[in-house]
Each structure stands twice: as structure tokens, then as C-alpha cells.
Structure 1
Amino acid sequence: GEIIAFSFDDILESVALIKRTEEGLLEEKRPREKPIIVLVNQILAMVLSEKSLDVGRLYALLRRSRPFRKLRFKELMEVIEFLKSLRILSYDPTGGTIRSTRRTRTYFYSNISMIPDERSYKLKDLPSGRLVGQLDEKFVASFIAPGARFILYGRVWEVVSVEEDSILISPVAGSGEIPNWVGEDIPVDFHVAQDVGRLREDLEGVVRGTSSLDEVSRKWGVEEGVLKAPFEIVKKQVEEGLVVPTHRRVTVEEGNEEVIINACVGTEVAEALSKIVAGELQEEGIGGVMVEIDPYRIVLRSAFRVRGKDVVRILLGMAPSNLRHKLTKYLSSSMLFRWQILHVAKKIGIVDREVSLRDLNMNRLIERLEGTIAYREAIERILQERMDIRNTTRFLKRIERGEIEVHLQRSSPIGLSYRDARRELLYSGADERTILAIIEKRLEVTPLTMVCLACQRRWRASAGGGAPLQCPVCSSRRVAALHPMDYERMEKHLQRRDFASLSRSDRKRLSLSADLVMAHGRDALLVLAGRGVGPTEAARILSFPHENREELLKAIRKAEITYARNRQFWS
């Protein structure tokens, strides 16, 4: 087969993977130790089958299985006491036995699957009003907030607002925007990333004249042409007087808007390091640190300036023995932890399966569960499934011993190469004109109810249609245009032709709408067709001179986004 590589990192990673595969060096599997949810499931299965179960015998059986071979008796009793407190089973301390309760069977069959119970959120495109996809709850909990950007169908989207079961999004114009999140790739192993660092070092040797590209190519088992493009980047790095990050060198690069830690450590070690660095910066008063990782770098951004020398100090000061404690501390305030503890709480029976993150006071739930097996299980799941604690510890020990150098420098070709790789992934067709054309099409076909303020006659019209803008009965030009949302609220009164029973504010809205239609014709209809753009906002938009229709559509789009973001705060 053939490997299609898009970037500097991809090429070197592919070479490293092929060589390791040929040498039989496969990635090590790390099964979870003592998974509490599985333990709960197993205890209840055995209780249901045997009705009364001796705890000592249960402990002996569990210890014979690989996942629970290190389980301590104290830990088992914690789980039993916790289940007893939820009345999922009963425990007799005198006889040392556990029994099922009325809740046991219901709980067991409701939670027999180990797959997380996740809701999905529909994605609605603001310009067109169409459903364009969906996101699972884990991603929403970990990342989604108004203003966040992500990639869907090769296009960058921005979150406008989050509703009960849907998320309103809008495409970002232009192809140069780099999103905060681009997907969750298969993690790159620590040893693969270290080999990429070794290959970078070999290419640096070619630049410095200690070996040839032919020698390096033969060493790694590839044709010389494969390494030509990455060699040019390494060469540029050296020619600019910059340190090449390898398996033995970490560089911290300070740019205008970001600090990049270049470290060939793989996805899961980078994840662990990033949590500690961001957490330490937060404690030092640098709030709102946004983190982006890949197997070879950690990118740090903040509204407050992140200084490279502070990052170097944090890296050099990380104590390997304190790693787990620090990670537990910083993870407990993360959105990922909130989702994980909700999943655990559902599986253990603390909260209902149908409950979502937005239905709960998560701060209160976390406070209630702190110090319990549920809290520890949520932390352990993240540590064991998302991070490589063992190799992170080894990496920090090598820094401590001086085996790995940490250098501070300006932005470099290798450090910034991730940006080019990202841009290759983005669909360039999402320009602003395309977005505005979609909005215009929707606005032109949105049905509006026309109401004559003179004789109270009603009829349907749209900005793009040919229906008259004066009353077909009395020829009055005092005609209001109502968006479906407004008409729904006034419908009863308008059907009875009883304007007097309308509220004072609704009568004012009708009058202002009629003034706009009389003054601006179909442009007024176009603006009033916007979601959440009532007569007051429409009057503000139309009061400004717009050079062309495109400028008018931009103003409508801005008003729609403002409404979508703020309507949850309006009565």
C-alpha cells in the first residue's frame, strides 16, 4: 500500500511506524487496572446468581482475574459500603455476606452495558436553518461553548449558542482560520514519537555534514526522496540558528500570540504535560489558557501573555513523584472530568440514565461525590485512558537528570509546521459571500404575515415573492409584516380583528413594522424575516446606509447571531 502524508510530522511518523513494524516493535497494550464500574457490575451479577455471597470468597475470586489482581480488600469494602448506601445491595457485617435488594435486578439490567450512555446534540446551521450533523455529549461537555471553533465536513464552524438538545453553529468565512479543535485522532505512542525525534536528529546531522541523506535513508529503510521535504525544514531550522527539537531536546518557542512546547513525546504524554503546565499557569494568575496538543507539540494561548521563560521554569520544576497528585488536582476542574463523573454517576446509579450535563447542578454533584469511589473512578478513567503516566514519569526523570535539554527560543519552522498541516484539512469554499447567499435565500422564502392596520386584512408575503405591499382590499400602505414567531403570539387577536385587545407593546411593534415596510419596501421584509430581528432591531439596521445588499445581509447575520447567543437570558 501507499501512505499519503500531508505534513512534516506525518512523513517522519510514517517512516518511524514502518521501521518499528518491520522490527516487530508493536505498541504495548495497557488494560485498565481495577475499573470500579466493571467491579460493581461483577459484584451485582454474582449476588443475583447466588442470592447470598460471602465477601471473603468474592474477594478471592476477583483477585484471580487480571484487572483486579491488585485490588485491596479495603477497596472492595468501600465499593460494597457505597452500594449499600444507595440500597443497591445489603451487607451483613456480622456474617460477612452481601445480598440483593429490590433495586439490585433493576439496576443491573439497566447498566449491564459498559458503553457510556450518551445523548447526541443536533447541529443547526444558522444561515440556512438546516440540520448539518450531530455531536456526542462527551465532545459537547469537553469543548463546546459559544465562540468555540471546530471542523465538520472539512469546514470550520463557530458555535453560536447551545440549546437543550441542539447547538446553533455558523460557518467561519475564509480558509485561513485555525480552529481550537480539529478532531480526536488515534493517539501516537510515546516510543513512535521518540523515534521521530531520533530521525530529526539524523536529518540535523546531514545538515551539519556528519552524515549524508543517502545514509539516513538507508538506516531508516526508505528511499531518499521520502526525506527530502522534511530535510529542507530541518535545514531551514538550523540555518536560522534555532535548536532542532528531538528525543533529547525540548524547545519552548515564544511567538506573538502563543507559546509552543516542542517535545517528541506522543499524544498521551503531551496530554498529561499540557494539563500540568496549563494548571500551573492558571495558579500563577494567567487565566483562560487554551491548550492544543499533538504528538510533537503543546500550543498554549491566553488573553493574558504566556511567557516562554515561565513555561521553561514549570517544565524544569515538574517533580515526577508529584505527577499523579498534580494531574488529579487540575483534572478535577476540567470539563472532561465533569462529563466523566456524570458517566460514572449514571453507571453506579447515583443519577438517572436520561439526565444530561445541562439538567444538573454539576458543581453540587461534584462536591457531593468528592472523596467517594465515584470521584476516584472518574479521575482514574481519564488518567488511564487519556494519559500515559508511566512514560510521562520517565520523561520528567530524564529532564531532572539532565538527559533531556530544555531550550527557550523564538518561533521556528518545525514549531509552526502544525499550522500548515491544519490548513490543508480545511475546505476553502466557506467564503463570506457563499454564507451570505445561503442566508439571503432563506430570508427570501421565509413566509411573513402581512397585516393591514386600516382594515385588519391579513395575507402572506415574502421578501423574494411578488405579493403586494399594500392592502388588496382598501389599498392602504400602512401594512405591517410579522415574522412567524411574532404572528404566533398575536394570532388570536388578529383572527378576531381585535387590535384593541393587543398589548401596548405589540401595537407599537405593528405600527413600527408598518412604518418600515412603507419606507423601505422589500428590504424591510428581508430584515424582518431574520430570526429574532423584530421591528426595533430592524429599524436600527435599516437606519444605517448600506452600500449594497451584501452589507445589509451582513447586518442581518450579525443581528441573528446576537439573538441566538442572548435569547436564553431574555424572558
Structure 2
Amino acid sequence: INSPVLLFTNTRGESEFLASILREKTLMNIELHHGSLSKQVREETESILRSGSSGIVVCTSSLELGLDIGSVELVIHYGSPRQVSKLMQRIGRSKHFRNSSARGLIITNSPDDEFETKAILDRIKNSSIEEQKIHNESLDVLAHHLVGLSLQMGEISIDFAYKIIKQAYPFRNITLDEFCNVLEILDQIYILSFDKTKMKFWKKRNAFRYYFENLSTIPDILKFKVFDSVGKKIIGSLDQKFVGDKGKPGTIFVLRGMQWKILNIDEKSLQINVEPINGQKNRVPYWEGENIPVDYATAQKVGLFRNLVKHGSLLMHNKIISELDFNIIPDEKTIVIESIRTDRNVVIHACFGT
């Protein structure tokens, strides 16, 4: 293959681990792309993709959508894609030219991944994809928009604002009572003033700060910038949890598929100063919010396939079902509850999805 290969993983930690291993074991050009790398590093990788240079780019969902990445001959997915839509989107990044079909390879690394991948491929054959649900009447989003209106327009009548909000599809069914309840809460916490007699509202002193400190519905996670003291550039970021657990001078960790040694941590500017190092044991960082949910239909198919394997109607590469030393297995109709008398934990095996 003379063009880049995309190697998708489900988590940033997994991508870092694979990239670091591949760099140790192969002479191929290995690049990395995920959301916790700096913009400069990501753009460098995107330029390599557009140039068509051969090699492997290990990536996460950061390369799924919205980027012109040129011609890619092959997409490899490491582990279960978890969702039909994700697999179709990721494999669909390959062979973007006329009269060609997308080309992909899935490598499973556990029995559960093999069952889940087979379930997803079966759903694709049957044109079954996850339902894309719209989150209706998200009242925190409504509160934010109402504050934004007050900042832009000053004093606003309830009738005017209510008509505007109802034009948005997710708020098409919101009642006037629900609308006014949000305004009451904003009034109680001193962000807006809400006059029920005149049926008008306007901003208070705290409105500006509230609006610009809550621009996203994604939870705010404190991050530390990682600064390469030799290359003199930011290479990425680490979550506060990892820094708190493992971050001390001398700690060696992996970022951009390379090993780095912490020199010092500047708590005030939230910056970790590092230098590159080779030949040490890898410590892969962990980040918040990495799990991809599996829907009910996929989980039920996994249960069905377990049942078919148990009764000899389906062959799989893994032998996990045949090696179980009890007759009942968790399948599409059976929940198995497991416990150990010396342990206070209980494990519930159920094919319900996440």
C-alpha cells in the first residue's frame, strides 16, 4: 500500500499505546491524531495525510468527520467499533475516488470484541443502524439562550422570546409554564430579572459571566498543557486526574506515541514541562469521557450469537463459550448474576447495552 493507512481506536489511551508500540516494533512512519494533542501536532499529521505519504496514522474519532485527509487506501479498526454508525463512518474514510468501494479491516482483541463486531457487521448487512435521538427540551441550553438574548437585546417580553424559542425544533413542544420556570430559576440565582406582572425579563450583573463560562454542554475538565522543553512547543494536554495521580518530576509517560519525562509542573499556568526520553517503560495517560456506548439492539445480537455458539450453530475464533464451566450463559434472554462469597462485589451480566 503506497498511501497512508488509518488505524482507528476507540480511546486516546489506546491510540497512544498502539502508536508507541508500533514505533518501537516497526520502521514504518507512525503518526498520531486525537483530541488531546495540540492543534499544531494535529495539523502536521493532517498535512502528512494529504501528501499521500505511506505509513500508519493511529487515530480516534478526531479523524471521523469534517477533515479533508486526501486518498486513503485502507482503514483498520482496532477492537470493536461499538456502534454501526461509527464503523460505517470510519471505514468510509477509505478509497474516496470514483468506482471504488470502501476497504476496511477489523482486528478484535478479546472474545467480547469479536462477538460485538460480528453483531455490528450483521446489522450493517441488514441495513440496521442506531436511532439518532434528538435531546428535546434541554432546559440548561434554554437558560443559556435566554441569557444570551438578554445580553444582546436588553429588556425582552416573554411573548417575543417564547415565540423565538419555539421555532427551534427541540423546543417545539415546550409549554409557557416550563419556559417561565426556567426564568424563575435564573431570577432566583441573580442571573436575570423576571417581572411576572409585566411579563418581561432582563439581564443582571452575573449574566455576562454565566453566559461566557458556560458556552458548551460538554463538562469542563481541567487540563494541563504539555510543553516540550527541547522542541519549544506545546505537544498536547493531560487531564487533571492523571496529573494528580501520576504527575511528579521524573515520571515518564507517553504522548504523541513518544516517551516524555516530567521536569516540573507549573500549577499556576497549568503547564507540564517535559523532555523526550527513550527506552523506558510506557505509562499511558488516561482521559475523561472516553467510553463509547453500545445500543440495545447490538447487545441483544451479541446475546443471540452467544446462544448460537453454545448450541453449535455458529463458529467463532474465540472459545470463551465452550470453555465456560457452567451451563447458563448471559444471552439475549438470560441475565446471569455472579458473586463470590469472600468478595462483596456482585457482577450482573446482561445484554442490554449501555
- 1:8 deviation in Å? 0.9
Q: In the alignment, which residue of structure 2 is the partner of 1:188?
A: 294
Q: In the alignment, which residue of structure 1 is the partner of 2:144?
A: 41
Distance 1:107 1:180 in 2: 30
Distance 2:225 2:287 in 1: 18
Match of 2:121 among 1, 15, 18: 18
Distance 1:124 1:203, change over 3 A: farther
Distance 1:5 1:101, change over 3 A: same
Q: In the alignment, which residue of structure 1 is the partner of 2:184?
A: 81
TM-score by length of 1: 0.33
Distance 1:30 1:94 in 2: 38
Q: In the alignment, which residue of structure 2 is the partner of 1:8?
A: 111
- 1:53 deviation in Å? 2.2
- 1:30 deviation in Å? 2.5
- 1:32 deviation in Å? 2.3
Quick check: 1:52 aligned with 2:137?
no
Distance 1:109 1:233, change over 3 A: closer
Q: After superposition, what is the alpha-carbon deviation per residue over 1:297-317, rounded to whole angstroms, capped at 9, x for unaligned?
A: xxxxxxxxxxxxxxxxxxxxx
Distance 2:222 2:300 in 1: 38
Query: Which one has the bigger strand percentage?
Result: 2
Q: In the alignment, which residue of structure 2 is the partner of 1:241?
A: 326
Amino acid at match of 2:316: K
Check conservation: 2:300, 2:351, Cα contact below 8 A: yes
Distance 1:197 1:190 in 2: 11
Check conservation: 1:89, 1:101, Cα contact below 8 A: yes
Distance 1:183 1:65, change over 3 A: closer
Quick check: 1:91 aligned with 2:194?
yes
Task: Describe the SS at the equivalent of 2:156.
Answer: strand
Check conservation: 1:194, 1:246, Cα contact below 8 A: yes
Aligned residue pair count: 239
Distance 1:264 1:179 in 2: 30
Query: Which one has the bigger helix percentage?
Result: 1
Structure with the greater relative contact order (CA < 8 A, sep ≥ 6): 1 or 2?
2
Distance 1:250 1:43 in 2: 48
- 1:108 deviation in Å? 4.4
Distance 1:197 1:135 in 2: 39
Distance 1:178 1:261 in 2: 29
TM-score by length of 2: 0.51
- 1:19 deviation in Å? 1.2
Amino acid at match of 2:329: V
- 1:183 deviation in Å? 7.8
Match of 2:240 among 140, 147, 155: 140
Distance 1:108 1:167, change over 3 A: closer
After TM superposition, list the pairs within 5 Å mapping 1:141-290 onto structure 2.
Answer: 146=245, 164=267, 165=270, 184-206=290-312, 211=313, 216=314, 227-230=315-318, 232-237=319-324, 240-247=325-332, 248-254=334-340, 260-266=347-353, 269=354
Q: After superposition, what is the alpha-carbon deviation per residue over 1:21-76, rounded to whole angstroms, capped at 9, x for unaligned?
A: 12121111223233233212321333345433222443344344332345444443
Q: In the alignment, which residue of structure 1 is the partner of 2:67?
A: none
Check conservation: 1:40, 1:79, Cα contact below 8 A: yes
Check conservation: 1:120, 1:134, Cα contact below 8 A: no
Distance 1:145 1:72, change over 3 A: farther
Between structure 1 and structure 2, the one with the greater Rg is 1
- 1:153 deviation in Å? 7.0
Distance 1:200 1:180, change over 3 A: farther
After TM superposition, list the pairs within 5 Å mapping 1:255-334 onto structure 2.
Answer: 260-266=347-353, 269=354
Q: After superposition, what is the alpha-carbon deviation per residue over 1:484-522, rounded to whole angstroms, capped at 9, x for unaligned?
A: xxxxxxxxxxxxxxxxxxxxxxxxxxxxxxxxxxxxxxx
Distance 1:18 1:109, change over 3 A: same
Distance 1:35 1:61 in 2: 16
Distance 1:108 1:194, change over 3 A: same
Q: After superposition, what is the alpha-carbon deviation per residue over 1:232-266, rounded to whole angstroms, capped at 9, x for unaligned?
A: 221111xx235322122324253977654332232
Check conservation: 1:51, 1:100, Cα contact below 8 A: yes
Distance 1:200 1:185, change over 3 A: same
Q: Percent identity?
A: 28
Task: Describe the SS at the equivalent of 2:193.
Answer: strand
- 1:5 deviation in Å? 1.5
Q: After superposition, what is the alpha-carbon deviation per residue over 1:408-460, rounded to whole angstroms, capped at 9, x for unaligned?
A: xxxxxxxxxxxxxxxxxxxxxxxxxxxxxxxxxxxxxxxxxxxxxxxxxxxxx
Task: Describe the SS at the equivalent of 1:3.
Answer: strand
Distance 2:307 2:212 in 1: 55
Distance 1:115 1:10 in 2: 28
Distance 2:258 2:302 in 1: 30
Check conservation: 1:151, 1:181, Cα contact below 8 A: no
Distance 1:204 1:69, change over 3 A: same
- 1:78 deviation in Å? 3.5
Q: Which runs of 5+ in 1 are unaligned?
A: 126-130, 217-226, 270-571
Amino acid at match of 2:317: A
Check conservation: 1:146, 1:162, Cα contact below 8 A: no
